[in-house]
Amino acid sequence: MSESFALLRHRMVVEQIKARGIRDERILAAMEDVPRHRFVPPHLATRAYEDGPLPIGEGQTISQPYIVAEMTQALRLTGAEKVLEIGTGSGYQTAILCRLTREVVSIERFSVFSASAEGVLRELGLENVRFRVGDGTMGVPEEAPFDRILVTAAAPRVPVPLFEQLGEGGILVIPIGGRWEQDLVQVYKKSGKAIKEFLGGCRFVPLVGRCGFAE
């Protein structure tokens, strides 16, 4: 079955990601290599490369492959950055980040997801990541500053603690809006100020926490 998964993964990259304008060769290579089917429930493994999100439990999802690629590209990674990921979830996005940057800190409010993701990433030999369990809207202040921050759930606004933990010249990517529809926003920190660029509409599960949505 591994050969079939490899073929599905290649088709995903060509038809869903490259065809929609993702040109960063490092991102394309990472998504060609990371076995997405390892990050979904076993009964959904054959659907892992479909053009859409899939449920992973607790009302959470693994994002559509193209959205993963788009958000990753918006971070403008060079390979030298320290990245904070808010919302480990399945760990798939975490794995992509591990392939593309120096180190990753990933925080998740559901301990079962954090433990599962850590197990899969260790099995794949991805060691440049530290996992945390807690309120992602508060970030991980003891690890700050971060060169990049990626938020994989929707917030009504940029959580202040996250912007504070973003280093000068850093980039934060986050879906902002209501519970059901949002805009994907790239936030650049320049002289302590937020410069925002809107990348298009999206739909994410809500970011729950002190500086996000109420549970």
Q: Is 1 helix (H, G, I), strand (E, B) or coil?
A: coil
Residue 63 lies in a domain: yes
Could you read off the pLDDT of 113-123 as tens digits, one per residue? 999 999 999 99
Nearest to 7 by CA among 40, 32, 41: 32
> Would you state the pLDDT for residue 180?
85
> Would you state the pLDDT for residue 81?
98
CA 207 to chain centre: 13
Element (H, E) at 54: strand 54-57
Residue 142 lies in a domain: yes
Structural tokens at position 80: 């030298």
| DSSP for residue 63 | P
Task: For residue 83, give its domain range.
Answer: 59-202
CATH code for position 129: 3.40.50.150
Cα 129 to Cα 118: distance, rounded to the nearest angstrom = 9
Q: Is 97 helix (H, G, I), strand (E, B) or coil?
A: helix
Structural tokens at position 93: 């996005």
- Provide the percentage of residues in the chain whose pLDDT is more than 90: 93
Cα 149 to Cα 172: distance, rounded to the nearest angstrom = 5
Span 52-75, average pLDDT: 95
- Provide the percentage of residues in the chain whose pLDDT is more than 70: 99
pLDDT at 142 over 70: yes
pLDDT at 2 over 70: no
Residue 153 lies in a domain: yes
Could you read off the pLDDT of 147-184 as tens digits, one per residue? 999 999 999 999 999 999 999 999 999 999 998 889 99
3-state helix, strand, coil in the chain (%, to 5): 40, 30, 30
Examine the residue annotation and report whether 116 is marked as an active-site residue of this protein: no
Residue 7 CB neighbour total at 10 angstroms: 11
> Would you state the pLDDT for residue 215?
79
Q: For the chain, what is the mean pLDDT?
A: 95
Could you read off the pLDDT of 77-100 as tens digits, one per residue? 999 999 999 999 999 999 999 999
Contact by Cβ (8 Å): 146, 167: yes
> Would you state the pLDDT for residue 3?
61
Span 9-31, average pLDDT: 96
pLDDT at 7 over 70: yes
Residue 38 lies in a domain: no
pLDDT at 125 over 90: yes
Residue 214 lies in a domain: no
Domains of the chain: total: 1
Choice among 63, 106, 114, 116 that is catalytic = 63
Residue 139 lies in a domain: yes
Span 32-39, average pLDDT: 97
Cα 189 to Cα 163: distance, rounded to the nearest angstrom = 8
Give the predicted TM-score (pTM) of the model: 0.95
Residue 42 lies in a domain: no
Helix axes 92-100, 111-123, angle to 10 degrees: 50
Contact by Cβ (8 Å): 175, 204: yes
Give the CA distances from residue 69 to residues 126, 164, 208, in Å, rounded to whole numbers and listed in that order.
Answer: 19, 26, 24
